[in-house]
């Protein structure tokens, strides 16, 4: 059992599992090898499964290189990324852990393997060799979604139910029913429950400043998305960025349905930033990073009284719901399809919106349930391996569904038949049954049928 702060991370686009995760794996390998750098002569990286199949579009190759250069997501900037790319791809060198310059042959030392490793769809290996070509150190990493990385040993040990530590806490949150029971007993809503849960790991000040920083970065990303420096997104789709133009056009319309246009704008602006490889907040993944900010911006700009306190409550609720998906199912498109990414984000946003508008825990869980129920079966088929089509627009639909689910749950008079735990279980089973072609491999769906691109 641990804090849920890791559900929201400041990272880089376009993908938490395929960009942030591989970068973190590079950082972890640096920590492992840093005391033996004098022995290392060469580094080899092997990307497997989905990381290999969609790795170039998701920048997985470059991300591992950034990580091995000792760069960290929080402090990345475009010029620093560019320099590391140029060194590795053009000048044939890598600055291992930021401390030792090595020769690096991108074609030979970075391998895109067609194989899948046994424990997860997103596997990778990093190996360090000495001058005699003998292994100094090696590790197998799995990027399990949302920017989380585990070694093979850790993943094997974890199993599906063993990510609960033996540490005994007053508040244990393993499933939605447990959350509802705590709320009923204490008269809490979900935000209060999450706050009290987090107090077991952080001080009041830390909770507040963490949430406000996340909210500030989300707003900064929206601003950047509506003030882009480039007209087109990177990659072979040659996709024109739409948020800036949308913002100008929406401002001129008096259409009564304009509210939906605003929500789409918020989501598209943030998702385009992610697609460009810029700084975003994973929420709970990069592909789905725009759903939650879009709903928060809707509340801030189009409802009365959405202030910092409400933003904190929103994020606390959302991270609690996100943690239930992470513990009991998946937040990885490569593991369970897009329902695990956009569906989870929509479910988190629905519960959070309902809570800040006054819903009790039961109604908020119903909002979360509905938002996921109507994402079940959603496949992950990113065209050309880029987090652009269908991902960018899909964030807008995820946000609109979240708002709809929150409103439906709040006005509901009847007792819901489906519980949140049941829908989480269903999502995971559906994801496991889903053909691998539809789980972030770009081997099916729109990724293969869009003839004009491929
Ligand atoms: S289709 Fe969904 S899960 Fe797949 S990369 Fe795009 S946003 Fe992520």
**Domain range annotation of the chain:** 15-158, 176-449
**387 CB within 6 A, ligand 1:** yes
Architecture of domain 176-449: Orthogonal Bundle (1.10)
C-alpha–C-alpha distance, residues 55 and 80, integer Å:
20
For residue 378, the model assigns a pLDDT of 98
**18 CB within 6 A, ligand 1:** no
For residue 1, the model assigns a pLDDT of 77
Residues 114-135 have pLDDT tens digits of 899 999 989 999 999 999 999 9
Q: Which residue CA neighbors atom 6 of ligand 1 most closely?
A: 391
Q: Which residue CA neighbors atom 1 of ligand 1 most closely?
A: 380
pLDDT at 336 over 60: yes
The residue ranking higher by pLDDT, 306 or 144, is 306
**288 CB within 6 A, ligand 1:** yes
**333 CB within 6 A, ligand 1:** yes
pLDDT at 163 over 60: no
For residue 161, the model assigns a pLDDT of 47
Q: Taking every pair of C-alpha atoms in the chain, what is the biggest distance, in angstroms?
A: 73
Residues 402-449 have pLDDT tens digits of 999 999 999 999 999 999 999 999 999 999 999 999 998 889 999 999
Counting every residue written for the chain, the total comes to: 454
The CATH number of the domain covering residues in 15-158: 3.30.1330.90
**386 CB within 6 A, ligand 1:** no
pLDDT at 82 over 70: yes
Task: Dihedral sign for Cα 305, 311, 313, 315, please.
Answer: positive
**391 CB within 6 A, ligand 1:** yes
Residue 177 binned pLDDT confidence (cut-offs 50, 70, 90): very high
Residues 19-54 have pLDDT tens digits of 999 999 999 999 999 999 999 999 999 999 999 998
Residue 384 binned pLDDT confidence (cut-offs 50, 70, 90): very high
SS3 303: coil
For residue 366, which of 323, 425, 315, 419 has the smallest C-alpha distance? 419
Residue 292 binned pLDDT confidence (cut-offs 50, 70, 90): very high
**Which segment of 59-68, 327-336, 416-425, 443-452 scores lowest on mean pLDDT?**
443-452
Residues 189-241 have pLDDT tens digits of 999 999 999 999 999 999 999 999 999 999 999 999 999 999 999 999 999 99
- How much distance in Å is there from the Cα of 122 to the middle of ligand 1? 14
Adjacent-strand bridge partners of 135: 129
**394 CB within 6 A, ligand 1:** yes
- How much distance in Å is there from the Cα of 338 to the middle of ligand 1? 5
> Which strand (E) or helix (H) includes residue 227?
none
Share of the chain above pLDDT 90, in %: 84
**Which segment of 164-173, 273-282, 286-295 scores lowest on mean pLDDT?**
164-173
Residues 337-357 have pLDDT tens digits of 999 999 999 999 999 999 999
User: 49: which 2 tokens?
Assistant: 């499964």
For residue 394, give the ligand 1 atom closest to its CA.
Answer: 7
- How much distance in Å is there from the Cα of 139 to the middle of ligand 1? 27
pLDDT at 453 over 80: no
For residue 368, the model assigns a pLDDT of 98
- How much distance in Å is there from the Cα of 279 to the middle of ligand 1? 18
> Which strand (E) or helix (H) includes residue 429?
helix 420-433
C-alpha–C-alpha distance, residues 432 and 446, integer Å:
20
Q: Which residue CA neighbors atom 8 of ligand 1 most closely?
A: 287
DSSP state of 380: B
- How much distance in Å is there from the Cα of 395 to the middle of ligand 1? 9
For residue 75, the model assigns a pLDDT of 73
Common-topology check for domains 15-158 and 176-449: no
pLDDT at 167 over 80: no
Mutate to test the pocket of ligand 1, among 282, 344, 345, 382 (most ligand atoms within 8 A of CB): 382
Residue 454 binned pLDDT confidence (cut-offs 50, 70, 90): very low
Share of the chain above pLDDT 70, in %: 97
For residue 173, the model assigns a pLDDT of 95
DSSP 61-83: HHHHHHHHTT--GGG--HHHHHH
Residue 254 binned pLDDT confidence (cut-offs 50, 70, 90): confident
**345 CB within 6 A, ligand 1:** no
| Average pLDDT value for the chain | 93
**30 CB within 6 A, ligand 1:** no
For residue 285, give the ligand 1 atom closest to its CA.
Answer: 8
For residue 334, give the ligand 1 atom closest to its CA.
Answer: 3
């Amino acid at each position: 059992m641990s804090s849920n702060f890791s559900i929201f991370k400041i990272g880089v686009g376009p993908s938490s599992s395929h960009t942030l995760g591989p970068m973190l794996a590079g950082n972890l390998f640096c920590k492992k090898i840093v005391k033996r750098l004098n022995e290392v002569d060469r580094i080899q990286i092997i990307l497997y499964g989905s990381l290999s199949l969609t790795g170039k579009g998701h920048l997985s190759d470059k991300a591992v290189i950034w990580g091995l250069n000792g760069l960290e997501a929080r402090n990345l900037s475009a010029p620093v990324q560019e320099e590391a790319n140029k060194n590795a791809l053009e000048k044939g060198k890598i600055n291992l852990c930021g401390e030792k310059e090595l020769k690096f042959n991108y074609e030979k030392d970075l391998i895109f393997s067609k194989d899948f490793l046994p424990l997860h769809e997103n596997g990778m290996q990093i190996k360090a060799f000495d001058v005699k070509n003998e292994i100094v150190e090696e590790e197998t990493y799995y990027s399990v979604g949302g920017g989380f990385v585990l070694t093979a040993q850790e993943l094997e040990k974890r199993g599906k139910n063993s990510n609960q530590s033996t540490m005994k806490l007053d508040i244990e949150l393993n499933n939605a029913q447990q959350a509802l029971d705590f709320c009923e007993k204490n008269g809490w809503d979900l935000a209060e429950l999450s706050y009290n849960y987090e107090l077991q790991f952080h001080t009041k000040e830390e909770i507040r400043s963490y949430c406000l920083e996340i909210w500030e970065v989300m707003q900064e990303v929206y601003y950047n998305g509506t003030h882009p420096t480039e007209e087109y997104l990177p990659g072979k789709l040659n996709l024109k960025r739409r948020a800036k133009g949308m913002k100008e056009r929406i401002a001129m319309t008096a259409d009564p349905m304009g509210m939906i246009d605003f929500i789409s704008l918020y989501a598209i602006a943030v998702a385009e930033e992610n697609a460009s490889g810029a700084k975003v907040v994973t929420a709970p993944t990069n592909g789905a990073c725009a759903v939650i900010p879009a709903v928060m911006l809707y509340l801030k700009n189009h409802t009365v009284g959405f202030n910092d306190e409400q933003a904190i409550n929103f994020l606390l609720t959302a991270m609690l719901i996100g943690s239930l998906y992470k513990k009991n199912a998946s937040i990885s498109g490569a593991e369970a399809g897009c329902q695990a990414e956009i569906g989870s984000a929509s479910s988190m946003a629905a519960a959070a919106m309902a809570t800040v508008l006054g819903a009790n825990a039961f109604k908020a869980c119903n909002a979360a349930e509905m938002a996921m129920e109507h994402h079940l079966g959603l496949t992950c088929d990113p065209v050309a391996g880029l987090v652009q089509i269908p991902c960018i627009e899909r964030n807008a639909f995820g946000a609109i569904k979240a708002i709809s689910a929150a409103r439906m749950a709040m006005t509901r008079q009847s007792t819901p038949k489906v519980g949140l735990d049941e829908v989480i279980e269903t999502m995971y089973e559906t994801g496991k049954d889903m053909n691998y072609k539809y789980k972030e491999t770009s081997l099916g769906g729109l990724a293969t049928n869009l003839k004009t691109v491929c």
